[in-house]
Chains A and B, each alone.
Chain A
Amino acid sequence: MSEAAASAHADHGAHEPAGFWSHYVFSTDHKMIGRQFLFLGLFMLIIGGILAMLIRWQLAWPETEVPGLGWVPEPHMYEGIIPPSTYNMLFTMHATIMIFFVVMPIMVGGFGNFLIPIMIGAKDMAFPLLNMLSFWVGAVAGVLMIASFFVVGGAASGGWTSYTPLTGAAVYTGVNWGINLWVLSLFVLAFSSLMGSINYITTLINMRAPGMTYFRLPLSIWSLFITAVLLLLALPVLTAALGMLFFDRVFATNFFLPAGGMPLLWQHLFWFFGHPEVYILVLPAMGVTSDILSVFSRKPIFGYRAMAYSMIALAFLSWIVWGHHMFVSGMNPLLGTAFMLTTMVIAVPSAIKTFNWLGTLWGGSIRFTVPLLFAIGFVSNFVIGGLSGVFMASTPVDIFIHDTYFIVAHFHYVVAGIIFAMFAAIYFWFPKMFGRMTNHTWGVVHFIGTYVFFNLTFFPMHFLGVGGHMRRIYNPMQYEYLEQFGDMNVFITISAFCLAIAQIPFVVNFIWSLFAGEKASENPWEANTLEWTAPSPPPHGNFATTPQVYRGPYEYSSPEVEEDWLPQTRPLGAAAATGH
């Protein structure tokens, strides 16, 4: 990492903390905490990815020896063969890790931390110490989750949705401490998210630079703002449910057990949290995509207010659609009708966003950088994921496709599609985060590989779902009507392996650029937002003087200036003449 630019500005009065521990480990600097979250998420992404590969191996070549894993002790594996109980652990932990320890740390923890203060012109978060705690508490949650692989009985195996009564007592899964640790880990993670969201909201309300009104905030900041509100209000509900689940498991109460309690109550509580959670995951991706599309189309975002309002609408509606996960759960069918209506309504803001992204591209002067390619990839996948959602919103159709691979295809297009926005954001802000540029060619190779194999992996899953292929089954060959899908499962698995291999260029590019990439200037992308007025990487305190904001973040190709960008901080006309 280059600290040259940083030290050059040290004489501006920004306090630069000294020492390895306070700088790299227990740092209270929002940018360092953002990088820490990013590295935590990327590390967990590798683990989650390996789990996915094992799942795919089993589905393509059921009950055969996984190459190179003969050493794994029984009962986790039998000479490299995955038993059903381990298979259940694999998909449970794959989902849990990807959702809570990859997408949330990278998009919310990483970019939330790195971007919020610097894009609103603040020196740091409102509560820097709380921010540091947020990361370390999150890291402890990660350690607990990983540790659950190594306890007797193995890791959680009740699905990431952890439906009771299956998870309500150890007897049903045979997993005792694995699920207890799963519960504890998410419980601890909730505290990390709580600290983070309090910090984000307070910072955003109180610490915006002069002139930075709410409707001059970049959409990535808007999305993180709304995400923080959802996190703040949704996670405590999960915490309450997890608390009761823990009581059921450890103190033998029966909140969610049929003896007196209600199994469906867990589902209601879980999805009351779970659907806002979906938007917690996807909103930041939408935000950074909007920013990146605007920068590289050299055009203002199309319908800025509609974009902001549609995100607010998504956030509100996300509280009243949870029942669409439960159409065939035994919930009152009349409620199903009500939830279908709200669910159809929530598709509208998503449609608005998609068309506004198209509107942004229209008439642009598009620069095909790596971040733009990934942002386009995100939009393209989000369209497929959004449209496939309409199938399951319709209650009668959902009867058939519920719990099939159609659902798996749908949420991978949405949630795993976030990885495209994540890569877009990494390539876009890498120069600001680490002071160096990434390699363009390798980035393009990474994009093509990821885009092609992502679609080859997940699109055929729609076919499996239409054929009635259930999710979470260990061996599809046990069913006569699924035997025809053997070849398709092999195809998907090979595509998935290729998708994993396609990440090698990213790893190489990332590490190589970190140490040997071309030095980045302050504003390599000619972007308008405030972070590009600070040095790359920005010093502790970000700005020497508090920036003054004169306009919205998307004034590209404005007729008022000759260049095709107009930074938020640049005074024009009367303001420039009077010195204000």
Chain B
Amino acid sequence: MAREAAARMPKEDLADVMSPVSAYGEGPPPPSRPEPVISNARLGLMMFIGAEVMFFAGLIGAFLVLRLSSEVWPPAGQPRLPVWITGFNTLVLLSSGVAMHRAWLAAAAREQVRLSGWLLVTGVLGTVFLTIQGYEWVRLIGFGLTMRSGLYGSTFYALIGLHGLHVLGALVWVGVVWMLARRGRFAAGHTVGVETCKMYWLFVVALWPVLYGLVYLY
């Protein structure tokens, strides 16, 4: 074969040589692609949550380093964080996780009314959480704890604020899924939309006790 010459100067007629090898050539139809173990949407979201975990790991790592290198914590003259009311708020957010799980069970059982009901409960509990957080923030700012009041203030607002932003984003997502559920979007059993929303919601819920423990209790 004049293979080497062909490699140096590819010609149109090389296609003839290639055709039996090509996927376009004749031959048996290839078997279909195997069904993936984890669907694309779920896998993609797991990856996204992995990235989020690294993001918060960076923040928490920074917080711990700064916290451990400070002799007095919280610094003198700074207001104490509201442990009890936030503890209650933690329960609110955790119960929203339970509600989300119930919504997912309803979606799997194709019970549309219960699905949108539990989604609504999730959303309301999430909103309550954010409202209490916002109220506490206003009070803390009133007591003089701001981003600028040293490390105590800046780590508090950065960590808790960024978590709050994530809750807000997840809340919008729950809202969208809720509206879709009311329109019967998941009636046909195509529930990946509910499932991904549940995964993300459970992530922001599960993150909270960690932050609560580190920032409020530790």
Q: Measuring CB to CB, which residues of chain A are less than 8 angstroms from any residue of chain B?
A: 9, 12, 126-127, 130, 194, 197-199, 201-202, 205-210, 232-237, 239-241, 243-244, 247, 251-255, 260-262, 265, 268-269, 272, 367, 431, 437, 440, 518-526, 530, 533-535, 543-548, 562-564, 567, 569-571, 579-580
Contact of A244 with B158 in the complex, beta carbons under 8 Å: yes
Chain B residues numbered 109-149 whose CB sits less than 8 Å from any CB in chain A: 147-148
Closest to B30 in A: A548
Q: Are B24 and A236 in contact (CB under 8 A)?
A: no
B65 at the interface (CB under 8 A from A): yes
Interface size, chain B (Cβ < 8 Å): 57
Closest CB of chain A to B89's CB: distance in Å?
Answer: 24
Residues of B within 8 A of A533 (CB): 21-24
Cross-chain contact of B23 among A126, A525, A544 (Cβ < 8 A): A544
A69 → chain B closest CB, angstroms: 41
Residues in A neighbouring B18, C-beta threshold 8 A? 521-523
Residues 3-31 of B, flagged 1 when their CB comes within 8 A of A and 0 if not, give 11011101110110010111110011111
Contact status of A569 and B154, CB under 8 A, knowing A197-B47, A210-B30: no
B33 touches A569 (CB 8 A): no
State whether the Cβ of B188 lies closer than 8 Å to any Cβ in chain A: no
Contact digits for B53-94, partner A, Cβ 8 Å, 1 yes 0 no:
011111101100110011000000000000000000000000
A563 with B1: CB separation less than 8 A: yes
- Determine how close the nearest CB of chain B comes to the CB of A510; give it in whole angstroms: 19
Q: How far is the CA of A236 from the CA of B55 in the complex (A)?
A: 4
Report how far A95 CA is from B21 CA in the complex, Å: 45
Q: Are A210 and B33 touching (Cβ within 8 A)?
A: yes
Report A473 CB to chain B, min CB distance, Å: 31
For residue A350, give the distance in angstroms from its CB to the closest CB of chain B: 25
* Residues in B neighbouring A526, C-beta threshold 8 A: 3, 6-7
Q: Which residue of B lies closest to A256 (CB)?
A: B62
Confirm or deny: B51 has a beta carbon within 8 angstroms of a beta carbon on chain A: yes
Query: CB within 8 Å of A: which of B192-211?
Result: none
A265 to chain B, nearest CB (A): 6
CB distance from A296 to the nearest CB of B (A): 9
Contact of A251 among B39, B44, B47, B148 (CB under 8 A): B148
| Contacts A519-B12, A533-B22, A548-B30 given; does A236 touch B58 at CB 8 Å | yes
In the complex, which residue of chain B has the Cβ closest to the Cβ of A9?
B24
In the complex, the answer to whether A522 meets B15 with C-beta atoms within 8 Å is yes
Report if A210-B34 is in contact (Cβ < 8 Å); known contacts: A194-B48, A521-B18, A533-B21.
Answer: yes
Contacts of A518 in B (CB 8 A): 10
The answer for the CA separation of A209 and B31 in the assembled complex, in Å, is: 9
Nearest residue in B to A240 (C-beta to C-beta)? B58
* A566 nearest in chain B by CB position: B21
A254–B151 touching, CB < 8 Å: yes
Most buried by A among B20, B29, B58: B58
- Measured CA separation A9–B15 after assembly (Å): 14
In the complex, which residue of chain A has the Cβ closest to the Cβ of B42? Answer: A202
B213 at interface (Cβ–Cβ under 8 A)?
A: no
Partner of A206, one of B11, B43, B50, B58: B43
B55 pairs with A562, CB closer than 8 A: no
CA gap between A262 and B65 in the complex, in Å: 9
- Which of chain A's residues have a CB closer than 8 A to the CB of B57? 236-237
The 9 closest A-B pairs by CB, nearest first: A240-B58, A253-B154, A548-B30, A236-B55, A524-B10, A206-B36, A579-B28, A236-B54, A237-B58
In the bound assembly, the distance between CA atoms of A207 and B10 in angstroms comes to 31
Q: Is the CB of A569 within 8 A of B48?
A: no
Q: Which residues of B contact A243 (CB under 8 A)?
A: 59, 158, 162
Residues of A within 8 A of B27 (CB): 571, 579
The complex places the Cα of A244 from the Cα of B12 at a distance, in Å, of: 58
The CA-CA distance from A253 to B154 in the complex, in Å, is: 6
Q: List 7 A-B contacts (CB under 8 A).
A: A233-B54, A265-B65, A522-B14, A534-B23, A547-B23, A563-B1, A579-B27
Complex Cα distance A254/B29, Å?
64
